[in-house]
Every structure is written in C-alpha cells, then in structure tokens.
Amino acid sequence: MEKKIKWFNQAVVYQIYPLSFKDSNDDGIGDINGITSKLSYIKSLGVDVIWLSPVYQSPMKDNGYDISDYKKINPIFGNMNDLKNLIKNTHAKGMKIIMDLVINHTSDQHSWFKKSQQNDLAYRDYYIWRDEPTDVSSIFGGSAWTYCEKRKQYYFHLFAKEQPDLNWHNPKLRNELYQMINEWLSLGIDGFRLDVIDLIGKDVDDKKFANGPYLKKYLKELYTACFAGKDIMTVGEMPGISIERASELTNEHEPYLNMAFQFSHISLDEIKGQGKWALKDLDLIELKQTFNHVQQTFYKKGWNALFLSNHDQPRVLFRYGSKKYPQASAKMLATMIYGMQGTPFIYQGEEIGMTGIAFKDINNYQDIETKQIYDILIKKGFKHQDIMRSIHKKSRDNSRTPFQWDESTYGGFSRHKPWLQVNENYKSINAKNNIENENSVFHYYKKLLKLRKEHDVFTYGDFQILELDNPNHFSYYRTFEDEKYLVICSFSEKEQPFNFSHQKFRVLISNYNDIDFEYRQTIPPYYAGILKIGD
C-alpha cells in the first residue's frame, strides 16, 4: 500500500451510547453534558474521534434509533447549545466527533409519517405503502407490515412497527434528507456513522433488502450531495452485506463510504440461518478463517472498521473470552482485533473490561428487541428458562448498562436510580480502579493504541495468518517494508505449545509480564503479545 492515507485511517474511534455514559443532572439518564464532563478521560485513552449514538428528538422506542425530528435534540439528553458545547470542547481537545445518521427509517411520530398516514399529497410517498402485506419478517421479529387504519393500507418496517421505512425511491424525500445532513455538517461535526445503510437500496416487492439493487445509486447520490470535497469521515453500518461488497463500497477511489462495519465475525456464536437467539459455541478456526478472509479482501481495496462490541452486540468479553481469565481475555481480544488493518473502534466500557449482565426477571430488560422476542418465543411455546438463556447471552442490554466510573452507588454514573440497572460488578470493575492500577485493561488499551500509531506496519502492513488449523491460538504476521510483527493470541485456558521457530524477536506488548520465551516453547492461558521479529 502506498503511504498515503487520510486521518480517519489511522484514527481511534470511541463509541458513546449517550443513555448510559454519564448523567450530569441526576435523573438517571446519561446526557450530553455528562459526555462533555468526561472528555479528558476519553482523550487520555488515546482516542481521536468520538461517535455519538443518536441524541435527536425521539420517542425512544428503540433508544433514539427512532427519530421523530432530525433537527432537534431530545430534551432528556440536553439541548442544541449543549451539543454545540460538546462539539467545541471535543475539538478543543484535539478530537473529532461524528454523529449517528438513521435514514433508513424514522419514528412513526415523525411529522412526515403522520402526514403520510393521512395521505397528504406531498408526503404520501415518503414511506412504503401497499394494499396487501407480503410474508416478510421484521428484523426484530413479527411481520414487517403493519396495517394503518387511517390510510387503510399497510406500511413497511424492517425494524419495530414504530420505525416505518422511508421510501428512498422518492427524490423529494432524498433531497430533504440531504439538506438535513448538510445542515448537520455545517455545525462543524466531522462525519457520520450511517445506520443500516445497506438497506436503503432495497426493492421491497422483489424482497431484496440488504445490498439491494439501488444501493450504489443512492449511496453515490448521497455522497455527491453531502460528502464530496469535505474533510469528514463516513462509516456505514452494513450488517447484511458480504465482505467483498463492503470492501468495494469503501474503496478510496469510489464515491460511496470511507469505511465499513461488516459483521462476518460477529455471528459466529449463532447457529447459521437460525438467527441470533440460537446459540452455539464459538469455533476459533471459523473466527480465524473469517478474519483472514476479511483482511485479505480489504487489503489495498477497501477500508474496514475494527470492532468487537457495540450497543447492539453483547460485550465480547464473555462472548469470545473466558470467565476464568477476564483481564487476560479483555487484553487478548483487544490485541487480536487492533493488531489488524483497519480503523479501531472501542465501545464504551470495553477499555475497562466491563461485562454483560443476566437479569433473572424479563421486566428488568429495557430493549425493544429483547422484549419482543421474549413474547414471540413464549407464544411459540418455548420455555421461559430456555429463552432467558439466549437473552442472557444475546440481549442488546448486555452492552447498554451504565458506564462504571467508580465504586460509589450506581457506579458513579448517576446519583439517581438509572434507567437500566448497573452491573453488580461495578465495585471491582470501574474506570477509577483501572486508572489507578497500571496493569489494568485500561492501561493496556492505552499502550496498544499508542503502539499502533508508532508503527506504520499496523496501518499499512499486510496480514498473514499462522497455523490456520490450530484451534488454540489466533496468530498472524503483519509486514510492511522491512518490518515484521507477530501477533499472538491464545484462546485457551491451558498452557499451549507455540512454535517460535527460533526467530529473533522483541516483545513490544504482552498481557503477561516477564515471560522469557527463550526458555519455553509455550504460551500461557489467554496470552496476548505483539513481537517484533528481527534484531
């Protein structure tokens, strides 16, 4: 790869889920001023860009991914001045800030939908209406069509019924969206994360949704109308498309997106074809094959976002890591993902080793998807215990519990009972003790992210997997010009043999202190290390 990249190729991005990050006014709900008060913390980790999950006006059926007014701030998060203040302070700290852009659908409370329901001539085609439903299921379960009494027609929604899909075939709607996007950009934000953007090119009648026939057309138009010539970054969330397509859409010479969230590595603990609630154990070889494929496909062609967790995914720690070795696992998983090529994304709390939750009572869950699937599965005759087992593993609330700042009540998130229960482990897992302990996950992240920036090999180097068939460790070389690095990641609770092939090397970072490899040919449980090969 030529040594010519943009800032966002080397940036470290930190995702904030505003509801759960920091509550500044003690109403139990995280807010914008709470985020502003923690900018120094974020900066100290080595973050360059903050991504804010939605803070727009919303009835919060899907926690803000159901927008009822793109131009207003939801009062539970603060107001426009608070947001401007956050943007200003983020920039003053030398960081950038991107917003979430949800344009596949709106809330059913959006004025466009209300007018569309009434068959208002100007808005009747802003959404997707049909006289008869088809047999398409929504991603959250149940039919994707809901009947509207007012209009005597069915409208289409790939998510909850309160999230009607916009009709992208309508040029008037598209222009209105572009105008709104440009207004946001003129506020000085540095780009967008584009929510389920792979769905906008759909053909509903042909049942082609993700990666639909119009995807390139609309992405290109969006790019031309809003992004071209601006020094911003765009990252497209594209859960439904292939690795090849994601790479193609993020080629730097093409007018689409700067980088992709593609999910090939995410659903490997699900039974294929049966959806996210059908559990299976992770097969490390499958994970290695997947990442190998991803790294080879994007190399010199596209640009990938490196992530393991987000607000929709259960925290990766006990998903792909070990309960027996939580600290080592947290560091190992970070090493595995951030040793690769792409832009690192950290989901709030990952950097302090936060874990998922397992509420006994379904009523403690707040997530619309979780509640919906519980009801559907109960109706289908599944047993409560079996459903809860899936929910404990897979509910989106796993990653949405309040950020654990310190050992005080409610983890220092708020002085008021939070909207979602704090994880009980906040006394032992929190930012304060992470910062105080130099062997913590936090300090490891800091060191790892710094290392990435100091060595070009992480940005430009190629990727070569080692022992693809070895079921115990995931290890790979990164090579650039005359530099070669070896990343070693153990996924085993036992000491495992490792063939160092008598190479000379220097350990740059490791989750075990003081291992002298000269005298051993093994790696300890959940070991992670990056070795520089040569003298």
- What residues act catalytically? 195, 237
**27 belongs to the binding site for Ca ion (CB under 5 A):** yes
**62 belongs to the binding site for ligand GLC (CB under 6 A):** yes
Judged by CB under 5 A, the stretch of 28-36, 219-227, 347-355, 424-432 that binds Ca ion is 28-36
Q: Which is nearer to Ca ion, 18 or 46 (CB)?
A: 18
**159 belongs to the binding site for ligand GLC (CB under 6 A):** yes
Q: Which is nearer to Ca ion, 30 or 240 (CB)?
A: 30
- Using CB under 6 A as the binding rule, the residues of this chain from 224 to 283 that contact ligand GLC are 237
CA distances from 171 to 106, 125, 174, 221, 222 (A): 17, 10, 5, 10, 11
Shortest Cβ distance from residue 166 to ligand GLC (Å)? 12
CA dist 181 and 270 (Å) reads 36
CA distances from 87 to 48, 154, 229, 369 (A): 13, 41, 21, 31
Q: Which is nearer to ligand GLC, 196 or 284 (CB)?
A: 196
Q: DSSP class of residue 465?
A: E
CA dist 509 and 530 (Å) reads 5
**102 belongs to the binding site for ligand GLC (CB under 6 A):** yes
Q: Closest Cα partner for 130 from 151, 104, 160?
A: 151
Choose the one of ligand GLC, Ca ion, none that binds residue 196, judging by a C-beta under 5 to 8 angstroms depending on kind: ligand GLC
Q: Closest Cα partner for 334 from 318, 319, 322, 351?
A: 351
Q: If 0-12 CB within 10 Å is exposed, 13-18 middle and 19+ buried, where does residue 228 land?
A: exposed
Choose the one of ligand GLC, Ca ion, none that binds residue 29, judging by a C-beta under 5 to 8 angstroms depending on kind: Ca ion
- Using CB under 6 A as the binding rule, the residues of this chain from 1 to 30 that contact ligand GLC are none
Residue with tokens 């080879």: 296
Choose the one of ligand GLC, Ca ion, none that binds residue 31, judging by a C-beta under 5 to 8 angstroms depending on kind: Ca ion
Q: Which is nearer to Ca ion, 27 or 254 (CB)?
A: 27
Strand duo 522-523 + 483-490: pairing: unpaired
Quick one: which of 19, 29, 97, 528 contacts Ca ion (CB under 5 A)? 29
CA dist 516 and 524 (Å) reads 12
**23 belongs to the binding site for Ca ion (CB under 5 A):** yes
Choose the one of ligand GLC, Ca ion, none that binds residue 102, judging by a C-beta under 5 to 8 angstroms depending on kind: ligand GLC
Amino acid identity, residue 49?
V
Quick one: which of 108, 165, 190, 312 contacts ligand GLC (CB under 6 A)? 312
Q: Which is nearer to ligand GLC, 400 or 452 (CB)?
A: 400
Shortest Cβ distance from residue 129 to Ca ion (Å)? 38
Structure tokens at 315: 């925290």
Question: What DSSP element (H or E) covers 251?
Answer: none
Choose the one of Ca ion, ligand GLC, none that binds residue 159, judging by a C-beta under 5 to 8 angstroms depending on kind: ligand GLC
Choose the one of Ca ion, ligand GLC, none that binds residue 195, judging by a C-beta under 5 to 8 angstroms depending on kind: ligand GLC
CA dist 96 and 48 (Å) reads 6
The sign of the torsion formed by the CA atoms of 284, 285, 289, 292 equals: positive
Contacts with ligand GLC by CB under 6 A: the residue count is 9
Structure tokens at 330: 């947290």
Q: Which is nearer to ligand GLC, 276 or 311 (CB)?
A: 311
Structure tokens at 334: 């970070």
Q: Which residues bind ligand GLC (CB under 6 A)?
A: 62, 65, 102, 159, 195-196, 237, 311-312
Question: Which residues bind to Ca ion, rule: CB under 5 A?
Answer: 23, 25, 27, 29, 31
